[in-house]
Amino acid sequence: MSTTPSVSRKSFKSAATTSPWTAADKRAEQRELKRQAVLSTAAQLFNERGFQATSLDDIAARLNVSKPTLYYYVKNKDEILIECVRSGLQTMLEGIEQTRLAGGKAIDQLITCMRIYTRIVTQDFGMCVIRISDTELPAERRAELRQLKSGIDQAFRRLIKACVKEKAIAPCDPKITAFMIAGALCWVGQWYQPGGTLTPEKIADAYIHTFMQGLLGQRT
């Protein structure tokens, strides 16, 4: 009996590797993948039809699952919207932070951030930030999202201030200039149609050129 336990433990281990059930870490990963698919699909529908006009049934139908299946991944429609908007805003903040860490001249950082902003507002979650008003959410849930938005605004103001300090751009009011740049870029999320000739890169190029040179810029 004293020698058998190690053998049986070994057989048990072998049996586990061929189990028809997925290992816990793999399960968590699959669950997260599915949760992300629920959120992306919801964001697409919100952006196409609006938040009110999208039901959990619509989201479930597009994913070929039943409504009860959705509840395994998300709590309710409000929580889905919050997650979509938070995800869009956090991706933007991460992009801005990575740009800051990469260093370099403020003007180059500002241009990189404008590219990041344009790319994100043309993606599902970023588009949600722009197209779905936060008045759709209960007042007490808006504070966290507004704080993230304020973080993005502050980052743009800091970059504009730094650009003026470096004499890379003309003196200006950083607040109003940040609003103007962000406003123009936000609105891309309103009119952008995926798959068209105007790619996010082309849009960013044109906007950056006009913002930098001005309309009067290079007159012939």
Site for a copy of itself in 43-72 (CB under 8 A): 49-50, 52-53
- Cβ density class 89-98: b for 16+ within 10 Å, e for less: bebbbebbee
73 binds a copy of itself (CB under 8 A): no
| Of the candidate residues 97, 190, 194, 201, the single one contacting a copy of itself (CB under 8 A) | 190
Structure tokens belonging to residue 23 = 């290992």
Integer angstrom CA distances of residue 82 from 51, 89, 177: 12, 11, 28
Q: Is the dihedral of CA 65, 69, 72, 74 positive or negative?
A: positive
168 binds a copy of itself (CB under 8 A): yes
| Of the candidate residues 27, 90, 176, 194, the single one contacting a copy of itself (CB under 8 A) | 176
Structure tokens belonging to residue 123 = 């993606």
Site for a copy of itself in 108-147 (CB under 8 A): 131-133, 135-136
Q: What DSSP state is assigned to residue 23? A: P
Where does this chain bind a copy of itself (CB under 8 A)?
49-50, 52-53, 131-133, 135-136, 163, 167-173, 176-177, 179-188, 190-191, 198, 203, 206-207, 210-220
